[in-house]
Structure 1
Amino acid sequence: MAAKFELKKSKNRKFFFNLLATNGQIILTSEMYEAKASAINGIESVKKNAPDDGRYERLAGKDNSPYFTLKAGNGQVIGQSQMYSSEKARDGGIDSVKANGPVAVVDDQAI
């Protein structure tokens, strides 16, 4: 399977996307957007910013589980990862976004 962005509409009629790695696992989830065009702009921002290591913030949740966010040039969070079991696993997730984000195709399921 090729890496892809799944663009979806939530039950509350907002739009969001997930970036899936080649193994089908979700590696990045966006915020909710009011408009489909805004979600598409978010995907383009991931494609642009994913290769830049400086755009990633490496964080820990309340239970100290590592995760990361990807930020745009203006500092706004574009997407957030799942919680990982270790910093090494989180860093692998970042590497996956760096590799897959710029080349992933868009699967529009928000029709």
Structure 2
Amino acid sequence: MNAPTPFPGRQDDRVAFDRGELAVILGLYGRMVSAGEWRDYGMSFLRDVAVFSVFRRAAEHPLYRIEKRPKLRNRQGQYAVIGMDGQILKRGGELKTVLRVLERKLIRSVE
């Protein structure tokens, strides 16, 4: 029998990143922090989307949002990187492929 959740009825209806997805995202985050590009992050887990937001400083709007929308899995792909202005920079079904748009920015900042 399953153990009761701390918030009955709320835990199952939210989208979240799994451990593997978080490992990929946090790996990129660590490299960007080391390069001095990013300083803070936040995560939101909502009914239809999970969001990992990255910030240059904690008090500003996010530089980028990494979103997971499982309902788009069979259409445009469930992962997206969205810029500060709301423009979708990359969308697809593979998280590592979608995050390459941010990896390019890391390469440019190191050169």
TM-score by length of 1: 0.31
Q: Which has a greater percent of strand?
A: 1
TM-score by length of 2: 0.31
Greater relative contact order (Cα 8 A, min sep 6): structure 1 or 2?
1
